[in-house]
Every structure is written in C-alpha cells, then in structure tokens.
Structure 1
Amino acid sequence: MLFANFLKTHQQQLQNDKQLLLLPRRQLVTYALYALIAVALLYLFVDPAAPASSSAKPSPPVAAPWVQEEDELLPPSPLNLSSPRPYNYQGDERSLTTTAPPPPPCDYSDGEWVPDPRPPPYDGAACEAIKDDGRSCAANGRADTGYLHWRWQPRRCDLPDFSPAAFLRWLGDRHMAFVGDSLARNQAESLVCLLSAWSPPELVHRDPDGRFRRWVFREHNATVSIFWSPFLVRGVEKSERAGVRYNELFLDAFDERWMSQLGAIDAAVLSAGQWFRIPSVYHDGGAVVGCYGCAAELNHTETSFFAVFRDVVGRTLAEITRRRHEKGGGGGDKTPQLVALATFSPSHFEGEWNKGAPCTKKRPYRKGEKELGYTETEMRKIVVEAAAAANAAAAASSTSTALRFAALDVTALADMRPDGHPGPYMRKNPFAAGEGRPVQNDCLHWCMPGPVDTFNQILQQTILR
C-alpha cells in the first residue's frame, strides 16, 4: 500500500517535469532516496523466490546410506566384486605436490568405523600382488563379506577416498619403498592393488620368499618396493627349527639391505614393532647389552623391549637424516623426501597365537567398546613422538629442508577391526582336511580388500600435507 501511494503522489510530477536532469543536486538526491525506499519495500513484502503455492510441503530429510539401526550392521544387497567402485575420488583433479596449499590437519587417530554399502575398491582375487600371500580372504573361501563394508570416519574431519589417479600422478618418476615386517608388506600390497585398479603394475623383482619385491607402473614410471627388515637395524631372526630361540639385534649396525638404497628412494614407509615383542638378545659396541625374555641361564640383563624399540626408531631416523645430508639431499628437483612411520598395528588372537587361537568377531568394535591396551598405547606413542622429533629437527636444520617425517597413526583404527583378519582363510579351503584337524589362524595381517586399505588413504593425505 505504501508503495502504491508513493507512485500515485509522484507520478504526475514525474510526467510533467521535463527538466529532471536540471534539478538542483539536493533535490535529485532526495528523489533517488525515495526510489531506493520503494525498492526495499517491494522486496520486503513480495518474496520473488517464494513458491507459487503455499500448500507445498517440505521434503522429508534423506538419511545417509550408512545410517542404520544399531544392530543392523550391513546392507542386504549382494556384493559384486567385478563392478567398479562408485566412489567420488577426492583429489583426482589435483596433483599430490607440496606446492599446492596443504589441507587443514586432521587427527585420523580419533574416529569410528561406520557402515559403507559400496563395493570394495578392487577385486582381491584378481590382484596379482597378493595371489600367493594369503591375504585374499574371499579367494581363499571366506564366505562372509561384512568386513568389506566399513569406512573410517574421523571425529572432527573427513578422510577422502583413495584416489589412484592422483597417487600415480604424484608417484610418477618416483620410487616409494615399504620397509619393515610383514605388516609393511601388507600395506605395500594394498597400495599396489589400489593402484592396479587404475594402471597395470609389472613385477620386476621378487626373491624366493617374496620378502623383497618391486613393481613398476610403466605408464607413469612409478615404482613401489618392499624391503624385509623387521628390526630396521641389522638382526638375525630366531628360528625354532634351527634351535635358535632368540632374535639377535645389533643396535649399532644398520640393515644395509634397505639403508644402502636410500639414494634411490623418494619416499619410505617404515612399519615395525611386532618382532620386538619376541625374546631377543641385544648387542651394541661388540658386546651384549641386554636381553628381553631370556632364560636365566643366559645371564643377561633383562631389558624392556619398549626401550629398545624407542632406541632403534630414534637411531634409524637419525641415520636416514645423516645419509640424506651426505648425498646433498638426493632429491634433485623432486618433492621433499617423505619418511612415514606407521604406528603399531595390533593383533586380535583370542588366546595364544601359536596354539590355534581364532579371531571370530564379525564386526568392528564400536567407539568406546574396547580400550587400547598398554602395549599398543606405548608402541604407538614411541613412533608418534619419534616422528615429531625428527620432523622438528629436520625443519630446524638449514641442510634438511628436503626431508620430512610423519607418523601414519593407524593404531586406534586397526585395534577396532577384529573382523578384518584372514583367520583360517590364509590358505585355500582351510577346512578341507576335515574336522578335528588343527587349523592355523592369522589374526595379525589384514584381508585385502580390507582395513589395511585405510592405511593408504591416510598415507595419501599425509603426502598432500
């Protein structure tokens, strides 16, 4: 009504005023102000975005696909391993380089596993990297598929899906090495399988035991290697068959099988810890300096394996830094060399591992359902602190700007996945021998596809940062 009165009052005046442009400036400003008031009133009382009918009802909220009742763990749809994964790969269109602005930091150690109805990112039965390693649980006869339908959801941020295209673009003309025990091998195989969904790998080296392997992705000139080194330093593994009951660790000598290759490695992922829990004799400076879990007749000083593990990790990172400096950086014009340390990955044996203990759980633990054990907590803490200290020292050094250390904090998310191990399905048809025959269970390594693929999701985000 106010707008109509305004038009009626001033319409005749506007029509008869042929000299509007010649009005005094103050009067012109007044007319402009009136016009602005009229426009504001028009938008106040007439909403141009309003629907034509006021009877329209809002649509009900759509639940996320993983929102289910508490006891309903999995979607009823059948698993189709042959279909491509309908994932929205975040990062496909950007290169994994340190020149781009880094995403905000994310604490991946704090979160929970939530149901995910999507198919896995690759077909474990078709991935050549694991055909002989007992990790393709479905191919070995595991019938339940629930362990495939979970994703890790951090509490305060999101973990993007793994992008094989983006990872291969970054890995082009580079060499990534996984160094450590069989869990390092497990993660390396996962990465190769994830990447093989995008580009075919070629196995160019394999030792008879499969402990040293190397793949090349020819399309990208990208290399992924596995170096067996369960102690990171030089060591001799115990062998019950040969009557050797203890590991021998030489704390002042490095494992040159991998350390000598540092000049050709652009990024390394170190993963060790489980072998330190085995009875061991420790040598330093040519003398025995301690022992863990040794019999009384050896007459060695009992030493905490936590202390030895901390010492080994610290020495290893310091030696990597020293050799990097000797080579003058060694990275040329490539991105800074990354040394990532995977934190301790717990096992889930329900009893003693060497006495047929199974792992029977069929779903992840829920948040707060299981507390992290003392051993797991301490082993994780050692790696996280060592990586932070090494990275701080590298950042403060004027000669180490091309070297970066980071922790892949996977302990909590791994601890919550008792359902993700091969169990008896580390071999094909494990129960074919009939009932009553002992069946070995693997409750330490991870099925593939499975939780270990999340380790490489975090690795990719670590590279981005």
Structure 2
Amino acid sequence: MGVTSPLKAQTHSRSFTTKFLPYVLYALLPVALFRFYFHSFPSPLSSTDQLPHGNRIILTSSSSSPSSLSLSREQETANEAPCNYTNGRWVQDKMGPLYNGTTCGTIKEGQNCISHGRLDLGYLYWRWQPSQCELPRFDPNTFFHLLSNKHIAFVGDSMARNQLESLLCMLATVSNPNLVYTNGEDNKFRRWHFASHNVTVSVYWSPFLVRGVEKSKTGPDHNELYVDVVDERWGSDLDHLDMVVLSMGHWFLHPAVYYEGGSVLGCHYCPGLNQTEIGFYDVMRKAIKTALKTIIGRKAASGDGIDVFLTSFSPSHFEGEWDKAGACPKTEPYKEGEKMVEGMDADMRLIAVKEIEAAKASANQFGGLRLEALDVTKLSLMRPDGHPGPYMYPFPFGNGVQEHVQNDCVHWCLPGPIDTWNQIMLQVIKRWRR
C-alpha cells in the first residue's frame, strides 16, 4: 500500500492523492534532512586521522564520490614530505617549558641554571618555528606510546648526556624514572627504567664513538683514537638496544694522535711528538663511518631492527675569555639572518649530515634499519642565551661581581633550548611509525 512510484500515483483519483500526500511528505522529510547534513558538512576526523597543518583532508561537498575521496587520500599521503626542521627562527612562547630545574632530579648540577640562581628567565620562553611547517610541543605520553617496551641509548660526549637529561626531565612529568644502574667516574654510564611503559633509557660515555684513550694527569697529555675500531663499551650492548642517539664533536678539537690499521695515521695539534699534522675533520668522518657501519653490520647480521639518530654539532658561544663574567652574556636569541652557520660549525655539521645519508643507502638493503640526522646546528647557534655561563656554579655573584668567573658556554641550561632537540626527534619517530 501507499505510494510506490510517481507514475502509479498519477493514476489515482484526486481524493486519493489528497488523502495520502501529507504522509508521503512526512516520510521524505527525514531523508532530505539526512542527505543535507552529511553532504553539506565534513565528517569529524578521529585523532588518528589528524594530519599536519597544510596536509589536512577536508570533505567539502556531495560531489566527492567514494572513489575520488580514496584517490585524494592516496595523493595526500604520496605528496606528504617530511618536515625540514633545520631552518627557522625562534619566536616567543608564553607557555614556557614542561619542567623546571627544581623538580627534576636528574639534571647535572652544572646545567641546573635555575637552582644556581640565574634570574633572567626570559630564555625559557622561546620556541623553534620551522620555516615551512609546525613543530608541536613535546608530548611525553606520545613518546611512551611509541617506544613502550624499548631501550633507548644516548651515546657520545657530554652533549649526549645533556640531551639525555632533557628527555628524562620531560618524561618525568608523567612517569617516574627509576635509576637502575650507574657506573664510571662522574656517573658516565647510567640507566633508568620507566615501569609504567617498560621504557629503558641509558647513557654511554664515548666522546669519540670509536675506541680511545683520553688524556689524563697520569698518562699522555693528548687523546689517542683508533678510528677503525668501535668503542665496545657501547658497541657490545647493541643486541639490547632499539634506538641509539649518537652525539660527538667537541672532543675532536683537543690534541690527539690517531691510529688506523694498527699504525699511526697522524695527529692534531701535537707539537713535539714528531707526527704528521692532519687536523681532525677527516678523523671525525672516519669515526662516524666506523660507528654507523658497526651498527648496521651487527644489526643486519642478527636480523634485528634499530633506529639511529646522529645529532649534528652544537656550536659554543664564548665571547672573549672563557673565565670572564660575561663570556656568554646575551639574554635573547639571535634574530633570523643575524648569525650564520659558517666556518668550523658548518664543516662539522656537514660531515654528520653527509655520513648519515651515506649510511642510509647502505642500510636500505636491510629491513628495520632507520637512520636520521638530528640537524640542530642552526637552531643551537641562534641561542647564545641558553648556556649556563657563570651559573655552572651556584650563585657565582653572591659576594659581588668578580672579574674571573668560569663560564660554560658549550652545554645548555635545563630546561632550555636543548629540549627542542628532543621535540624534533619525537616528530621523526612519529613519521617513522606512520
């Protein structure tokens, strides 16, 4: 019964039409409203469908058929390029850091600028704005979700430790890190465990990445490096590591004698040793090659995957003598174009970037090996205000301003600009998981 076709409806009498027409209209009204709503407004996206700014898919009209929508999603995915975090500028940020120096117990004393009495806290309220994309605020819960049941190791010099402590402090805002291992002078080998997500974070002191003998008061007054042999203090643990963050550079500036294949290769700044001066650039390149080749070779042989980051060189900001009260006195970042990456800073950065790209080509033949340069040289160069300076010691001017005060213009205050390194690292990990 009822109207089943417009053509049949025309054969009925006028009274029949008059009697049943209102019911037909009432029946069609919900259908019309349904089509109007779902073809006039975009469907809400779930949290897993959110795409970076500039790559978001928007449904605009009823003309988008299922086939065209599928094609547009494929095109968006294919055209989505990784964000380039290398270039950008520092912009003011009212939110400030996730943590402070008085609540995080893992910060090395020399980088705990707040507890050491630094009063000009404006350096805490800046964020890095890449030129062509957004850099989201670090989300500890996302990090834990992506790296649950994983072991992350920071390997290298004191900059590796600096970055490690930044990460620990940000993660500690949502979960408590338990120190489960410590060894070596100045606790240079440590390990923490986050029981909430079964995440392990370790730091390995290895300033050259390869095997080396550090200068000392009782030994030689120069470093000795074996550029073709990895430092097994971390290399022997590769079977247990899921992600490695390598960091080195500053220790290559010190006097050293280099060995390769059991013979002396040359030296850097070694008057009186009767060795050939060869500088340190090529040696640093060889050390990176050895480290990356070892990681790829051992992980490929075992069939296990690993994620590898190589942090580029972080420039220092000494102005004048290192022991003067104003050795790094600036209180704001450099403006865009005010400071350029050049000279030694540019050369050391380029070595890291080129070697990680070369290693990628080698790793592509194996599954599960992902490598990336954490290119932080420029964003670090533009932050002369982020170092401890005289606040590497507690309250250095408590008894008035002294002419000679040791300054640290190499490492970074925590919290501080180095937190951005881990922000970028998390975004790369998110891209890998996608």
TM-score class normalised by the smaller sequence: 0.7 to 0.9
State the match for 1:33 in structure 2: none
Task: From 287, 290, 297, give the equivalent of 1:322.
Answer: 297
Figure out how many residues of one structure are paired with residues of the other and give that number. 364
**In 2, distance between residues paired with 1:277 and 1:407?**
21
2:209 aligns with one of 199, 208, 232: 232
For 1:258 and 1:458, how far apart are their aligned partners in 2? 24
2:284 aligns with 309
Q: 1:201 pairs with 161, 177, 192, which one?
A: 177
Corresponding position of 2:31 = none
Q: 1:414: which partner in 2?
A: 380
d(CA) in 2 for partners of 1:276, 1:161: 33
Q: 21, 44, 48: which one pairs with 2:10?
A: 21
Matched residue, 2:309: 340
State the alpha-carbon separation in 1 of the partners of residues 262 and 8 from structure 2: 107
1:266 equivalent in structure 2: 242
The code of the aligned residue for 1:388 comes to: E
C-alpha displacement at 1:351, in angstroms? 2.4
1:456 aligns with 2:422: yes
Which position in structure 2 is the counterpart of 1:147?
Answer: 123
For residues 215 and 162 of structure 1, what CA distance do their matches in structure 2 show?
Answer: 20
- Structure 1 position 93, deviation (Å): 9.8
Q: Determine the C-alpha separation between the residues in 2 that align with 1:218 and 1:92.
A: 30
Asked if 2 retains the 8 angstrom alpha-carbon contact of 1:91 and 1:166, the reply is no
Q: Give the one of 188, 200, 211 matched to 2:188.
A: 211
- Offset, 1:410: 0.4
Match of 2:327 among 353, 358, 374: 358
Amino acid at match of 2:245: V
Letter in 2 for 1:213: R
CA distance in 1, matches of 2:9, 2:427: 65
What secondary structure is seen at the aligned counterpart in 1 of 2:114? Answer: coil
Tell me if the contact between 2:230 and 2:290 (Cα under 8 Å) persists in the aligned partners. Answer: no
One-letter identity of the residue aligned with 2:301 = E
Aligned residue runs from structure 1 range 55-66, under 5 A: none
**Structure 1 residue 177 corresponds to structure 2 residue 166:** no
1:394 alignment counterpart: 363
Structure 2 residue corresponding to 1:161, chosen from 128, 132, 137? 137
Write out per-residue CA displacement over residues 218-261 of structure 1, whole angstroms, 9 at most, x where no aligned residue: 1111111000000000111123x336321110112221100000
- Counterpart of 2:214, as a letter, is E
Paired with 2:406 and 2:346, the residues of 1 have a C-alpha distance of: 28
Corresponding residue of 1:116: 93
**Aligned partners of 1:422, 1:117: CA distance in 2, in Å?**
22
Q: For the residues of structure 1 that align with 2:229 and 2:9, how far apart are their CA atoms?
A: 95
Aligned partner of 2:243: which letter?
A: A
CA distance in 1, matches of 2:203, 2:126: 27
Residues 337 and 236 (structure 1 numbering): CA distance in 2 closer, same or farther, change over 3 Å?
same
* Partner residue, 2:349: 380
Structure 2 residue ranges without an equivalent (≥5): 1-6, 13-46, 52-76
Once the two structures are TM-superposed, the CA of residue 371 in structure 1 deviates from its matched residue by 1.4
- Report if the CA contact (8 A) 2:152-2:200 is conserved: yes
Equivalent residue for 1:276? 252
1: CA distance, partners of 2:49 / 2:330: 35
1:300 pairs with one of 275, 288, 292: 275
User: Which amino acid is 1:377 matched to?
Assistant: A
Cα offsets for 1:49-105 (capped at 9, x unmatched): xxxxxxxxxxxxxxxxxxxxxxxxxxxxxxxxxxxxxxxxx99999xxxxxx79631
Are the aligned partners of 1:214 and 1:223 in contact in 2 as well (CA < 8 Å)? yes
Give 1:304 deviation, angstroms: 2.4
TM-superposed deviation, 1:406:
0.5
- Select the structure that is richer in helix: 2
Q: Evaluate the alpha carbon distance shift between residue 290 and residue 91 of structure 1 in structure 2; reply closer, same or farther with a 3 A threshold.
A: farther
The alpha carbon displacement at 1:206 in A equals 1.8
SS in 2 for 1:205: strand
Distance 2:322 2:407 in 1: 8
Deviations along 1:269-317, whole A, 9 cap, x unmatched? Answer: 000011111111001122211001110x211111121111111111211
Q: Which moved more, 1:185-194 or 1:246-255?
A: 246-255
Q: 1-side partners of 2:422 and 2:406: how far apart?
A: 28
Q: Give the TM-score taking structure 2 as reference length.
A: 0.79
The CA deviation at 1:435 is: 4.5
Which of 179, 199, 211 aligns to 1:222? It is: 199
Tell me how far apart the structure 2 counterparts of residues 92 and 441 of structure 1 sit (CA, whole Å): 48
Q: Which ranges of structure 1 fall in alignment gaps of 5 or more residues?
A: 1-17, 24-89, 95-100, 330-335
Deviation >4 Å, runs of 4+: 90-94, 354-357
For 2:8 and 2:262, locate their aligned partners in 1 and report how far apart those are by CA, in whole Å.
107
Change over 3 Å in CA distance of 1:441–1:254 after alignment to 2: same
2:103 and 2:49 mapped to 1: Cα distance?
24
RMSD of the TM alignment (CA)?
Answer: 2.3
